[in-house]
Structure 1
Amino acid sequence: MEEILGPRLYSCYNCRNHVCLHDDIISKTFQGRTGRAFLFSHAMNVVVGHKEDRHLLTGLHTVADISCSDCGEVLGWKYVKAYDISQKYKEGKFILEKAKIIKENW
């Protein structure tokens, strides 16, 4: 069936630009600024902003906000660096807030 419909993916809730694939979800148990968030291994059609250090629930991280490349809506952030060794798996991964993305091809 996937060959007919294409892959299940998520789009920007504002402009429907495709931003990530369902198959790239690592975890659905993350917390974003506006509530629940997903951790993805990859994101597409996003612009990565300036790096900054932030104190998050799991400690200090260097992150960069990610925005939709079409409309500029901030969708989440990219983990650039984790200072705690137990959090290193997040480096290079993307947080997308559930409230900022919508399902496509489901």
Structure 2
Amino acid sequence: MEEVIGARLYSCSNCRNHVALHDDVISKAFQGKSGRAFLFGHAMNVGVGAKEDRELMTGLHTVADVYCCDCHEVLGWKYERAYEDSQKYKEGKFVLEKSKIVRET
């Protein structure tokens, strides 16, 4: 955790557990179940649930829910597999819903 001290962080809005770095935001133009969401290259202090196929706005993907390791709140999902070539860039990335995270200043 020493390397993230002083970094701009996103935390779980429920328990304030640090879950992502602002520098890892790839896009703020994603849509989650409850509204806007951000695509992150990495996430931390999160657990990953079981993989399942879901039909999303951009097609069929294999995803896994991502939850806070401290309070177990579901924060978004991780893209495990994209079936369309144009969506392959999402594989291994995380979508965290804006309503579930808070930016620490």
TM-score, scaled relative to structure 2: 0.95
Aligned to 2:67: 67
| AA at the equivalent of 1:56 | L
State the identity %: 74
**What count of residue pairs does the alignment treat as equivalent?**
102
Aligned to 1:91: 91
In the alignment, structure 2 segments of 5+ residues that lack a partner are none
**Matched residue of 1:87: which SS?**
helix
In the alignment, structure 1 segments of 5+ residues that lack a partner are none
Q: Distance in 1 between matches of 2:54 and 2:103?
A: 29
**Residue 7 in structure 1 maps to residue 7 in structure 2:** yes
Q: Which runs of 4+ in 1 moved over 2 A?
A: none
**Residue 22 in structure 1 maps to residue 13 in structure 2:** no
Q: Distance in 1 between matches of 2:15 and 2:30?
A: 24
Q: Distance in 1 between matches of 2:86 and 2:77?
A: 19
| AA at the equivalent of 1:23 | D
**Matched residue of 1:72: which SS?**
coil
Post-superposition CA distance 1:17-65 (Å, at most 9, x none)? 0000000000000000000000000000000000000000000000000
Backbone CA RMSD of aligned residues: 1.2
